[in-house]
Chain A
Amino acid sequence: MAEQMLADAGLDFVERGSAQVVNEWPDLDLAVRALASAGPSWPALQEAGHERFADAVREAIRPLSTEGLGVRIISEFGWIMGRAPGI
């Protein structure tokens, strides 16, 4: 799918890869505050209000929290690269 997007934009596919990224926070409250700052949270906050939003997020990420070690969310990000033609 991503390769087709490059082609549609007039770019020649070069390569694709991935990178592991990690979100780390000292506790659930700070993690909720961080996640509330992402653009996708904005309409949810508007619709549900902060308390309901925070409760739902806190419960969702609680399994990723370890007492004394904080909260860690490990994600795999993909990337793709294309080259502009002409050389």
Chain B
Amino acid sequence: MGWIESGRAWGERATDWAYLMEPYARRANDALFDRAGVGPGTRVLDIACGSGYAAGVAAGRGAVVAALDASEALVAIARTRTPDADFRVGDMFDLPFEDDQFDVATSFNGIWKGCEDALREARRVVRPGGLVGVHFLGLAQAAWPAAVLRGATGTVAAWPCRCHPQSGRYRMAWGG
């Protein structure tokens, strides 16, 4: 599954994801932004940004925000949420940003095991001394949706990472 198809999977029900799901991560957004010192003037990139909820939280702190996702439908919602931010549709393995452009790069459940090259890209675009923060599901939390989907389909469900070019398999177990 290429990143365009992953974007389609995540964007198929974009408004439901944006308004019924993505806000659940607010506490996680704040936890990571707090630790990274995100505040007025901080240059932040959110990778696999979905509908831009986290990007909006960062912008609310006064940060200068850019963000990227594979789903055009989700990015369209993100742009309406935070018109002043720089949202792009694209591939997290080939970020359309210059070297050393950001103080902080984050990803909320967007970079998982198997996505190591996305972390290298994140490192490239943050300045020397800049921070890269990644949120991820623990193993216990990863197990239940897999079981649910397995029950629904009778097969091992695919779990396509947003933007991941090889995301035809379930990839979540890096919380250990």
Bind each other: yes
Q: Which residues of A contact B (CB under 8 A)?
A: 1-2, 5-6, 8-11, 14-15, 17-25, 30, 33-44, 47-48, 52-53, 55-57, 59-61, 75-87
Does residue B10 face the partner (Cβ distance < 8 Å to A)? yes
Pairwise interchain contact B123-A40, C-beta atoms closer than 8 A? no
9 residue pairs, one from A and one from B, having the closest CB atoms: A86-B128, A87-B129, A9-B119, A56-B152, A34-B20, A37-B16, A37-B13, A42-B9, A39-B10
Shortest CB-to-CB span from B50 to chain A, Å, is 9
Known A43-B160, A84-B126; 9 more pairs at CB < 8 Å: A5-B116, A8-B119, A9-B119, A42-B9, A42-B12, A60-B144, A60-B151, A80-B134, A82-B131
Instruction: List, in ascending order, chain B residues with CB within 8 A of A84's CB.
Output: 123, 126-132
Interface size on B, residues (CB 8 A): 64
A37 to chain B, nearest CB (A): 4
What is the CA–CA distance of A40 and B24 in the complex, to the nearest angstrom? Answer: 17
Task: Among B116, B123, B132, point to the contact of A81 (Cβ < 8 A).
Answer: B132
